Structure 1
Amino acid sequence: MSNVEISLKEIMTSIEGALGTALVDYTSGMALGTLGGGKDLDLNVAAAGNTDVIRAKTRTMEHLGLTGEIEDMLITLGSQYHIIQPLKGRSGNGLFLYLVLDKERSNLAMARHQLKRVEVQLEV
């Protein structure tokens, strides 16, 4: 098992093209930890904004009567991929991993696979 800081470092070093990552509490919109980012990528602002995305999708699923859980969400921009992955299990309730990738330097399938692997090891 690993703690938040180690998990975020593993995401940034093991996923090609990673620009920034965060562990976010979507009940409050606060980032519990961030790594990477920069002046053009404020991960705390992104954490709060993506909390709204998770909440909106959850409400929509409820209104449609859809069962099951959100595995992950992908937002594709001109030069970036943004992955939102809610954590499963009892320790991850209300949390999600957020990852921003450089679209030109990343392999989306591998990034999703690596993110799931890190999630399994994450201890909150």
Structure 2
Amino acid sequence: MSNMNVIVEKLLAIDGALAAAIVDSNSGMILGSGGSGVDLELAAAGNTEVVRAKTKTMKSLGLKDNIEDILITLGKQYHILRPIDKQDGLFIYAVLDKSKANLALARRKVLDAEQALVM
């Protein structure tokens, strides 16, 4: 049984969290989401392309490694994309208010949420 809603709530409890989602990187569709301040449907689709591009680049370079997370830093926000190790093709997407978030702690809590996800 999936606990996606619990995981999304966990992500939204991170200091400075604005929105969070679990996204299928094969289709760009959101499987679970919450929060506000960003159009998650549009952001999920766009960030799916980011994850795909990085994965393709790593493959082209012959890198035998995994993406831990991808950080996009904007003027007022952090966007964290974290592929889910135990569920190929899914990633966690978290949007944080830069003025309220502790980036190191947020990255750790996103990792904790990933590890707690049951599919």
Q: TM-score range by the shorter chain?
A: over 0.9
Instruction: Tell me the CA shift for residue 2 of structure 1.
Output: 6.3
Q: Distance in 2 between matches of 1:119 and 1:31?
A: 16
Q: Does 1:35 align with 2:34?
A: yes
**AA in 2 matched with 1:6:** V
Q: Secondary structure of the equivalent of 1:99?
A: strand
* 2:64 is equivalent to residue 64 of structure 1: no
When the two structures are aligned, how many residues end up with a matched partner? Answer: 119
1:115 equivalenced with 2:110 (yes/no): yes
- When the two chains are superposed, the root-mean-square deviation of aligned CA atoms in Å is 1.2
- Counterpart residue number, 1:51: 48
Kindly state the Cα deviation for residue 93 of structure 1 after the two structures are TM-superposed: 1.1
TM-score (structure 2 length as normaliser): 0.96
Tell me the TM-score normalised to structure 1 length.
0.92
Residues 1:8 and 2:8 aligned together: yes
1:99 pairs, out of 58, 70, 94, with 94
Any gaps of 5 or more consecutive residues in structure 2?
A: none
Equivalent position of 1:83 in the other structure: 80
Distance 1:37 1:84 in 2: 17
Q: Secondary structure at the match of 1:22?
A: strand
> What are the Cα deviations for residues 40-81 of structure 1, in whole angstroms up to 9, with x where unaligned?
x10111110000001101111111111111000000000000
Cα distance in 2 for residues equivalent to 1:78 and 1:50: 18
Residue 81 of structure 1: SS of its match in structure 2?
A: strand
Runs of 4+ in 1 over 6 A off after TM superposition: none
> 1:21, 1:99 within 8 Å by CA — same for their partners in 2?
yes
State, as a whole percentage, how many aligned pairs show the same letter.
53
